Structure 1
Amino acid sequence: MAALIRRIISTSRAPAAIGPYSQAVVVDRTVYISGQLGMDPASCQLVEGCVQAQTRQALENMGEILKAAGCGYENVFSSNYPARAAYQAAALPRGGLVEIEAIAVLGPLSTVS
């Protein structure tokens, strides 16, 4: 059996990991994106404002990581939604109000029933 390729994704257009993890990892055609906080990539500080402002920034950060991996939000699915996990944390790093993670698939997809 051939070995799968693992590639670490890193971009300066999103905040650097604040712990012992990568922004994202690609294994074969699957991209695993670490949870993103609403942090400004330039200052590495949480953006000012409410949960909506932090959510917007977290999604912008995720978009930059997706680009660095060679894909975009369409690879996370916009219909035929994937399985997901939703959970509550006692406290997010740096006092964040929201953290968003994703799994994307590289390349074209076809859906079968």
Structure 2
Amino acid sequence: MAHTIINSPKAPAPIGPYSQATMANGILYVSGQIPLNQETGELVSSSIEEETHMVMKNLQFILAEAGMNFSNVVKCSIFVKDLNNFGKINETYGSYFSSNPPARETVEVSRLPKDVNVEISCIAVK
């Protein structure tokens, strides 16, 4: 099966041996994004809402590079360090899906890359 690597210069470069996204048979698999601002190279950590916005913007940059947007997203996975932040993350995340939100799960984990509080990955279909 042939696949195409998708990378956006607007989203943070991978910090390991993976690609930002891979397209196969019209399905885009986007790697987990953290609240790293590509322009400044700094982590956004002022609030959980701002962290979540930065994560969603990074996903948006990658989707756009593949000619897609959030309306193409069919599945998201949200990883959080503290489920007590679920309400704030959920409200911010939900603002990116005006209708027909995708399937998803939210899982509390003990640690995330660069000790961030939230990481989100998604799957989108053209």
Superposed CA deviations along residues 52-109 of structure 1, whole A, max 9, x for unmatched, are 1110000001000000111111101541x54433222211111111001110001xxx
1:20 maps to: 17
Q: Distance in 2 between matches of 1:5 and 1:93?
A: 29
Normalised by the length of structure 1, the TM-score is 0.83
Q: How many residue pairs were aligned?
A: 102
Gapped regions of structure 1 (runs ≥ 5): 107-113
Match of 2:64 among 67, 73, 76: 67
The equivalent residue for 2:123 is: 103
Q: For residues 48 and 87 of structure 1, do their structure 2 counterparts lie closer, same or farther at Cα, with a shift above 3 Å needed? A: closer
Paired with 1:18 and 1:72, the residues of 2 have a C-alpha distance of 24
TM-score scaled by length of structure 2: 0.75
Q: Deviations over 1:1-59 (max 9, x none)?
A: xxx33000111100001111110000111000011101101233211301111100000
Amino acid at match of 1:51: I
Greater strand proportion: 2
Match of 1:5 among 2, 27, 47: 2
Instruction: Check if 1:52 corresponds to 2:49.
Output: yes
Whole-Å Cα distance in 2 between the matches of residues 76 and 46 of structure 1? 25
Residue type of the alignment partner of 1:71: M
Counterpart of 2:113 in structure 1 is 93
* Alpha-carbon separation, structure 1, partners of 2:4 and 2:46: 35
Partner SS for 2:106: coil
